[in-house]
Amino acid sequence: MNILVCISSVPDTTSKINFTENDSKFDENGIQFVINPYDEFGLTKAVMLKEQNGAKVTAIIVGESSVEPVIRKALAIGADQAVRINMKPLDSFSTAKEISNYVSENPFDLIIAGKESSDYNGGAVPGIIADMLNIPFVNACNGLEIEGNEVTLNREIDGGIEKIKASLPIIIGGQKGLVEESELRIPNMRGIMTARSKPLNIVEANNPMTMSKSIQFEKPAAKGECKMVSSDNIDQLVNMLQNEAKVI
Amino acid sequence: MKQDLFQAPDYFLMDELLSDEHKLIRDAARDWVKRDVSPIIEEACQNAIFPKQILSGLADVGAFGPYIPTKYGGAGLDHISYGLIMQELERGDSGVRSTASVQSSLVMYPIYEYGNEEQRLKYLPKLATGEMMGCFGLTEPNHGSNPGGMTTNIKDMGDHYILNGAKMWISNSPFADVAVVWAKNDAGRIKGVIVEREMEGFTTPETHNKWSLRASATGELVFDNVKIPKENILEGKDGLGAPLGCLDSARYGIAWGAIGAAMDCYDTALRYSKERIQFGKPIAAFQLQQKKLAEMITEITKAQLLTWRLGVLKNEGRATTAQISMCKRNNVEMALNITREARQILGAMGITGDYSIMRHMMNLESVITYEGTHDIHLLITGLDITGESAFK
Ligand SMILES: Cc1cc2nc3c(=O)[nH]c(=O)nc-3n(C[C@H](O)[C@H](O)[C@H](O)COP(=O)(O)OP(=O)(O)OC[C@H]3O[C@@H](n4cnc5c(N)ncnc54)[C@H](O)[C@@H]3O)c2cc1C
């Protein structure tokens, strides 16, 4: 089985977020980039499937050379080969288009993306790929089993879980539950060393065409001061919620 | 212990001086320490138990002989990688770093550098996986800073040697499978001897009641007419220079490690100072606390630069013993000072095992003494710049 894992390189969750150029660009200075956490669940699941049933795992990333450390880590964790599409990922459409172009020439049985990336939280790339390749798409998966050509998926829905059956090829948007946090892998030295000789193919972007553009970013307003209300003064609380906060 | 929220300070963007692979190796060690060391280390220290369960993890992150060639089970990495791994381990605990330092620099290094091919193939691959653990016996009850005066000795019996004597303060000794022991031969020349656990007349009593490096096992090595096969002698080098060569490598790792301990204390104190409110303000807003924190990050940054440069020189084969001494001495003192300042920032909380600071502080009292005391390193610098020895 051929598995493709889509990886995006995102700022570490503890990063301090700032913008430059009139708040139109994310300030990358001093930021540490990591594998998008949702993709890491998918990557780990792919490596586990490979260990259980045998599979070839390819990790793909759309980005300039600065994202290579992230894809190297994917190789160290256990992907067999990596592909970097050489283009700055400007929007979901162009990113999805480039990945789809690659997949139409190099078919895969299973494509695992994250349900969203933790930087811009667009959550659109796997859906657009599905449309472009005309294959089924199941988002927000927190469980995946494969038997022969059949896939059983658990999908998180409001207040419960939906069980879905589908057949390969398919693309999913994954999240925690595909594997648990405790199952995530830290690359070991053997993995880091073998990653050196695993292929990392650089593919030039075909036709980077964007459909949308970020104009400006705004940070959330700073948290206001916390007002304490004594527990035996419910009336005051109701009054404040009604007249000051105007939420009820 | 509280959840490990460590965030490494990098005030001068030192990461830009590292390769992608350096960062991958360091981050793997950092993640592993967070996951497997931080949750268990406080209890291990409180109970003075060496956490054997982390040995395979130490091997996985490449802590055992990272710069030993792959042919012998090492990772064939450069010295900056080795340093970064030691930094991350000591960020967790100096005892964990000590175990790795001894295995890498004091056991694998001499077997690799001074051993023959048979010895290398027999021991190194097993030492690299942690299947076999080693220790290093140089210090004796009456010879610490002056190891050249050692009395442990080997007598040539024709087809074998007989080893007699005792070593003290030996890290890993209580559970080590092999010991690299330094002893004088009939001519008074210091030789390296590989002693194996099951050899008759060899015992390793544990040293108890330490208030430092409690998660690292320390003990004696006692040799009572131990029969040593001739093939267990390290023939590649003899004289005091042989064990001192190992110490160069270990001290280099300690220089990096001490930065790890300092970074952990700084990070804890910085976070605490922003959260702890007194007089209606976070204590981080008071000048006296800022002075402590600002000086800490300044000292850490200076040490990071010094040590990175030492790493580059080591990779080029140009780092001198005196440079390594200066760096070890500077960094350990820097770290120890930071633990003391950081502890005060945490007030009473700083003395509890809920935070790592006091553990680091107590650990560093060993680190500033072993592998050459603080004084001795100063004298090494003194000798280097004046040409006059003030040791004897
Ligand atoms: C936890 C721990 C683990 C250790 N692990 C190992 C190990 O694995 N293997 C090993 O071989 N050893 C090990 N050691 C021993 C360590 O290397 C020695 O303790 C160290 O070399 C100092 O020797 P000493 O304790 O005998 O002190 P001494 O040499 O007696 O020194 C006492 C004091 O006198 C000072 N002093 C000594 N000579 C001079 C001088 N010429 N001029 C000025 N001042 C001087 C010293 O600086 C020190 O302040 C370990 C020690 C500890 C605490």
- Per residue in A131-170, pLDDT tens? 999 999 999 999 999 999 999 999 999 999 999 999 999 9
Q: Is A129 helix (H, G, I), strand (E, B) or coil?
A: helix
pLDDT at residue A117 greater than cutoff 70? yes
What rounded mean pLDDT belongs to chain B? 97
Q: Is the peptide bond before A169 cis (omega within 30 degrees of 0)?
A: yes
Comparing CA positions, the residue from B261, B273, B271, B288 lying closest to residue B357 is: B261
Comparing CA positions, the residue from B160, B228, B220 lying closest to residue B199 is: B228
Amino acid, res. B7: Q
Which part of chain B has CATH 1.10.540.10? Answer: 14-129
pLDDT at residue A30 greater than cutoff 90? no
Count CA atoms closer than 13 A to B8's CA, side-chain side. Answer: 28
Residues contacting A228, CB < 8 A, separation 6+ = none
- Rounded-to-integer distance, Cα A181 and Cα A120, Å: 22
List chain B residues with CB under 8 Å of A12. Answer: none
Q: Which atom of ligand 1 is nearest to the CA of B137?
A: 11
Which part of chain B has CATH 2.40.110.10? Answer: 134-234
What does the pLDDT average to over B356-366? 98
Q: How far is the CA of B144 from the centre of ligand 1 (A)?
A: 4
Residues contacting B14, CB < 8 A, separation 6+ = B301, B304, B305, B308
Least confidently predicted of A239-243, B220-224, B341-345: A239-243
Contact (Cβ atoms closer than 8 angstroms) between residue B89 and residue B55: no
* B326 compared with A227, residue with greater pLDDT: B326
Q: Which tokens is B168 given? A: 């003290």
Q: DSSP strand E in chain B: where?
A: 134-137, 153-156, 160-171, 178-184, 190-196, 202-203, 218-229, 233-234, 277-278, 281-282
Q: Tens digits of per-residue pLDDT, B89-117?
A: 999 999 999 999 999 999 999 999 999 99
Count CA atoms closer than 13 A to A126's CA, side-chain side. Answer: 30
Q: Is B171 helix (H, G, I), strand (E, B) or coil?
A: strand
Which part of chain B has CATH 1.20.140.10? Answer: 241-386
pLDDT of residue B95: 98
- Name the closest residue on chain A to residue B31, using Cα atoms: A186
Residues contacting A124, CB < 8 A, separation 6+ = A92, A93, A96
What does the pLDDT average to over A85-95? 93
pLDDT of residue A16: 87
Is A229 among the domain residues? no
pLDDT of residue B318: 98
* CB-defined site of ligand 1, < 6 Å: B 102, 135-139, 144-145, 169-171, 213, 218, 366, 369-371, 373, 375-376, 379, 391
pLDDT of residue A177: 96
Amino acid, res. B70: T
Residue bearing the CA closest to ligand 1, atom 24 = B144
Cβ distance of B75 and A193 shorter than 8 Å: yes
- Rounded-to-integer distance, Cα B139 and Cα B180, Å: 12
- Rounded-to-integer distance, Cα B94 and Cα B368, Å: 11
Is A247 among the domain residues? no
What rounded mean pLDDT belongs to chain A? 94
Cβ distance of B60 and A193 shorter than 8 Å: no
| Count of domains for chain A | 1
Count CA atoms closer than 13 A to B48's CA, side-chain side. Answer: 12
Is A239 among the domain residues? no
Q: How far off is chain A from B365, nearest CA to CA, in Å?
A: 31
Q: What is the CATH number of the domain that holds A120?
A: 3.40.50.620
Confidence of residue B157 (pLDDT cuts 50, 70, 90): very high
- Rounded-to-integer distance, Cα B196 and Cα B202, Å: 8
pLDDT of residue A221: 85
Q: Which atom of ligand 1 is nearest to the CA of B173?
A: 8
- Name the closest residue on chain A to residue B19, using Cα atoms: A69
Is A91 among the domain residues? yes
Whose tokens are 């050459």? That residue is B372
For residue B96, count CB atoms less than 10 angstroms from its CB and return exposed for 0-12, middle for 13-18, buried for 19 or more. Answer: buried
| CATH topology classification for B134-234 | Butyryl-CoA Dehydrogenase, subunit A; domain 2 (2.40.110)
Which residues share a beta bridge with A26?
A19
CATH class of B14-129: mainly alpha
Q: Which tokens is B82 given? A: 């080795």
pLDDT of residue B60: 97
Q: How far off is chain B from A197, nearest CA to CA, in Å?
A: 13
pLDDT of residue A90: 87
pLDDT at residue B207 greater than cutoff 90? yes
Q: Tens digits of per-residue pLDDT, B55-98?
A: 999 999 999 999 999 999 999 999 999 999 999 999 999 999 99
- Rounded-to-integer distance, Cα B92 and Cα A162, Å: 42
pLDDT at residue A246 greater than cutoff 90? no
What does the pLDDT average to over B181-195? 98
pLDDT of residue B223: 98
Q: Tens digits of per-residue pLDDT, B10-24?
A: 999 999 999 999 999
Q: Tens digits of per-residue pLDDT, B286-299?
A: 999 999 999 999 99
pLDDT of residue B1: 61
Is A19 among the domain residues? yes
Q: Which one of 3.30.540.10, 2.40.50.140, 1.20.140.10, 3.60.10.10 gives the CATH number of domain B241-386?
A: 1.20.140.10
- Tell me the C-alpha to C-alpha distance, in Å, between residue A83 and each of A71, A209, B21: 8, 20, 18
Consecutive H or E run containing B379: helix B374-386
User: Degrees (nearest 5) of the Cα angle A133, A135, A137?
Assistant: 115
Q: Which tokens is A238 given? A: 């109701």
Mutate to test the pocket of ligand 1, among B96, B168, B206, B373 (most ligand atoms within 8 A of CB): B373
Contact (Cβ atoms closer than 8 angstroms) between residue B228 and residue B198: no
Beginning with the edge strand found earlier in the chain, give each strand of the sheet holding A170-174 in spatial order.
A160-167, A150-157, A137-147, A170-174, A110-114, A2-7, A56-62, A81-86, A200-204
- Domain of residue A72 covers 2-214
Contact (Cβ atoms closer than 8 angstroms) between residue B136 and residue B179: yes
What does the pLDDT average to over B217-228? 98
- Rounded-to-integer distance, Cα B366 and Cα B216, Å: 11
What does the pLDDT average to over B132-152? 98
Among chain A, residues having any CB pair with chain B shorter than 8 Å are 14, 30, 32, 68-69, 72-73, 76, 186-190, 192-193, 196
Instruction: Judge whether B32 is closer than 8 Å to chain A, CB to CB.
Output: yes
pLDDT of residue A194: 94
Q: How far is the CA of B329 from the centre of ligand 1 (A)?
A: 14
pLDDT of residue A210: 84
